[in-house]
Amino acid sequence: MKKLFISGLVIFTALSTKAQDDLEKIMENDNKTTTEYVRNAFKSSRVINGHSIEMVGKGVLDFRILHRFGTFKSGINNLFGLDQASMRMGFDYGISKNFTIGIGRSTFNKEYDGFLKYRIVQQKKGAKKFPLSIVWVSGMTLNSTKITDARLNDFSNRLGYYHQVIAGRKFSEAFSLQIAPTFVHRNLVDTRIEFNNMVAMGIGARVKVSKRSALLIDTYPILYGSAVNINRFPLSIGFDIETGGHVFQLHITNAKGMNEKSFISETFQDWGKGEIQFGFNLSRVFTVVKNKEASW
């Protein structure tokens, strides 16, 4: 009886082990035959200033408030910039999972802006894997400040444009990286030595710190069109906090502008001289049209 029990136990163990191995093989084969889209490379459709490879979900409205204080260099009299402030309020809406439109208004230059954002391809893993997400963004700005020189007071002189391609990858749950070659055009510039056209290479990175927080870097080195001793490339370093439907970002930056045309072509403050400022971004999403697709 004892021998029979031991023999049965050995057979049961062997069959259980084989069944487990077969189940693991089935699951492995299923993963190879299915395709999974990679999401949440960044927790927002913006890195800090610039667009990220993430999109606003279909039928979702993203209400964004971007706030910048004055420079630390302004001293104790201005509480190191906290007495001074500029902001942008914007609304981004997901027409589909791959197409977003947005509008905004900034106090800096009293500027209105709008953009179209289209995801060409999304990073995938599994049967039909693709290593990158690629996104196209085109935008236009309107400067509404008063132009005192009547010779320059044409509507077209108030306009600016930008176009960019963003290519990024989520390498792991802890690290994402993107690059964004960007072209900026201004119909009117402030001085004769400034360029109407500029080209910059955007770089954005996210390093996860905890389940709901991450470190961010967002910078746009200028490759062409930088006026000597005038233009500085924007550099922002921030901390991302996700709280339910909110994404809250704290950062320091040398850029006052809060759209691509503005912060790429009109950043004049120098990190090396302490001309940096504290700011925050607040994003709140609302589901306008219910659908089965998950948003970022």
Average model confidence (pLDDT) for the chain?
Answer: 84
**CATH no. for residue 241?**
2.40.160.40
In 122-194, at which residue ranges do the beta strands (DSSP E only) sit? 124-126, 133-143, 159-170, 175-186
Whole-angstrom distance, CA of residue 281 vs CA of residue 296: 17
Residues 25 and 115 occupy one common structural domain: no
> Quick check: 136 and 120 in contact, CB under 8 A?
yes
In the chain, at which residue ranges do the beta strands (DSSP E only) sit? 35-37, 60-71, 85-96, 99-106, 111-121, 124-126, 133-143, 159-170, 175-186, 197-210, 213-219, 222-224, 235-243, 246-253, 277-287
Residues 247 and 195 occupy one common structural domain: yes
Interval 3-32 mean pLDDT: 49
Q: pTM to 2 decimals?
A: 0.82
- For residue 292, tell me if it sits in a domain: no
Residues 148 and 239 occupy one common structural domain: yes
Show the tokens assigned to 285.
Answer: 């999403």
- For residue 296, tell me if it sits in a domain: no
Give the length of the chain: 296
Read off the pLDDT of residues 191-227 as tens digits, 9 standing for 90 and up.
788 889 999 999 999 999 988 889 999 999 999 998 8
- For residue 95, tell me if it sits in a domain: yes
Read off the pLDDT of residues 246-270 as tens digits, 9 standing for 90 and up.
778 899 999 988 999 999 999 998 8
Whole-angstrom distance, CA of residue 50 vs CA of residue 162: 12
Residues 244 and 164 occupy one common structural domain: yes
- In this predicted structure, the answer to whether residue 29 has a pLDDT above a threshold of 80 is no
> For a pLDDT cut of 90, what percent of the chain falls above it?
51
CA atoms within 13 A on the CB side of 63: 7
Read off the pLDDT of residues 175-195 as tens digits, 9 standing for 90 and up.
999 999 999 999 988 878 888
- For residue 169, tell me if it sits in a domain: yes
Whole-angstrom distance, CA of residue 257 vs CA of residue 266: 7
- For residue 251, tell me if it sits in a domain: yes
Per DSSP, what are the bridge partners of residue 223?
A: none
One-letter amino acid for residue 97 of the chain: K
Three-state secondary-structure class, residue 104:
strand
Torsion sign, CA atoms 6, 7, 10, 12? negative
- For residue 293, tell me if it sits in a domain: no
Report pLDDT for 34: 86
Residues 17 and 87 occupy one common structural domain: no
- For residue 38, tell me if it sits in a domain: no
Residues 19 and 55 occupy one common structural domain: no
Show the tokens assigned to 244.
Answer: 């339910």
Dihedral, CA of residue 53, residue 208, residue 205 and residue 113, to nearest 10: 50
Residues 201 and 100 occupy one common structural domain: yes
Read off the pLDDT of residues 76-124 as tens digits, 9 standing for 90 and up.
766 655 667 788 999 999 999 999 999 999 998 899 999 999 999 999 9
**106 CB contacts (<8 Å, ≥6 apart)?**
86, 87, 88, 112, 113, 257, 258, 259, 262
Residues 14 and 93 occupy one common structural domain: no
Look at the block and give the residue holding tokens 């004049």: 268
Residues 218 and 260 occupy one common structural domain: yes
Read off the pLDDT of residues 163-177 as tens digits, 9 standing for 90 and up.
999 999 999 999 999
Look at the block and give the residue holding tokens 């792991």: 172
Residues 139 and 199 occupy one common structural domain: yes
- For residue 117, tell me if it sits in a domain: yes
- Number of domains into which the chain is organized: 2
Residues 13 and 48 occupy one common structural domain: no
Report pLDDT for 144: 87
Residues 154 and 17 occupy one common structural domain: no
Question: The domain containing residue 5 runs over which residues?
Answer: 1-32
